[in-house]
Amino acid sequence: MTRSAVLVTNAGSSSLKYQLLDGPEKLLSGLVERIGEPGGDPDHASALRRVLAELPPDVTVQAVGHRVVHGGEAFREATLITLEVLEIIAALADLAPLHNPPAVQGIRAALVALPGVPNVAVFDTAFHATLPPHAYLYALPYALYTKEGIRRYGFHGTSHAYVSRRAEALLGGVDKLVTLHLGNGASAAAVLRGVSIDTSMGLTPLEGLVMGTRSGDLDPGAVLRLGEIYGLEETSRLLNKDSGLKGLSGVSNDLRDVRAAATERARLALSVMTYRLIKQIGAYAAALNGLDALVFTGGAGENDAQLRADVIAGLGFLGFELDPAANAVRGGERRITRAGSKPALVIPTDEEGEIARQTRAALGL
């Protein structure tokens, strides 16, 4: 008996991540690297053909769901890819120069390799398309928004969408929720009755929380000063690649390495990161006019018990009290606050599963 499955792809500049999903069941997953480099596949089309050759013989690809980082204001939901849609995604490369061009390459490869199979774009920005103007506008000349599209868009949308929906199911409904996607990249979202009303990343993924190598929020005057000293290209590299935990600690962008180092600079980096997280949650409690629950997800959010404990220790004024034994448990969905406390949950994210779900929904499957 032939099974129908959704192929989920995430194309990077020299890589192609993929998963094959039949409902919640993962049939295949992997990563093709060194695309376009010596010893690797010459292009994404060649890499995808190699992936397709690995598919189980009893599986038919019924659709391909593509992760696309930036949908701008053009796309508010998962969208069936046509030539016109592909042209718009390519044109949005100015907003995501490192991410949208590889996605376009991956889409084109899939269209050629699987003729007649529908392809769907699932956008990181789509979950945050519900932000109201007072949350997404910057206090810049308005024409920079209308003509150049400079505004807050937000990212990690598939992760925030998945864990907010799971939190609602686990809690039997929740009105005012903050979701924290914490990994090398990190973002927070304020979710009101399932709808994103604010998020910490902005025009690009550089804004917001302290991350592995990204600075997060910074005085624009500091950016201007850095530009004067180093030039724009070097300043961009510094803020995106050499800042955050890596820059502050002098150790690594990996939270595990920074915690293990136990140097004064490492402790300072952890303090800055945690302080900013607590501030962000407090700000979103104000934006939501209260807070009913909190969700941790992402590599650090799911696995670093000390980070969760430190964050919740700063949220007593909002009614959160840690259950240390529950917090120490590893793996799976779980509540980590005491009975009588407001719930804080750990929910492992499933971005690929969410992309597959949205792909099926867009096609009515």
By annotation, the residues acting in catalysis are: 124
**What is the rounded (10 degree) CA torsion for 17, 23, 28, 34?**
-10
Reading the block at residue 273, the tokens are 């990161």
What is the DSSP code (8-state) at residue 340? T
As a whole number of angstroms, the distance between CA 361 and CA 358 comes to 5
Roughly how many angstroms between the first and final C-alpha of the chain, as a whole number?
19
CA angle 166, 194, 151 (to 5 degrees): 120
Task: Specify which residues 192 forms β-bridges with.
Answer: 176, 195
Q: In what order do the strands lie in the sheet with 16-22?
A: 25-32, 16-22, 3-11, 59-68, 119-123, 79-80
Q: Which residues contact 6 (CB under 8 A, 6 or more apart)?
A: 20, 21, 22, 61, 62, 63, 64, 65, 356, 359, 360
- Decide: 346 and 334 in contact? Cβ < 8 Å: yes
As a whole number of angstroms, the distance between CA 291 and CA 49 comes to 48
- Decide: 63 and 6 in contact? Cβ < 8 Å: yes
H/E element, 46: helix 44-53
As a whole number of angstroms, the distance between CA 190 and CA 202 comes to 14
As a whole number of angstroms, the distance between CA 109 and CA 111 comes to 6
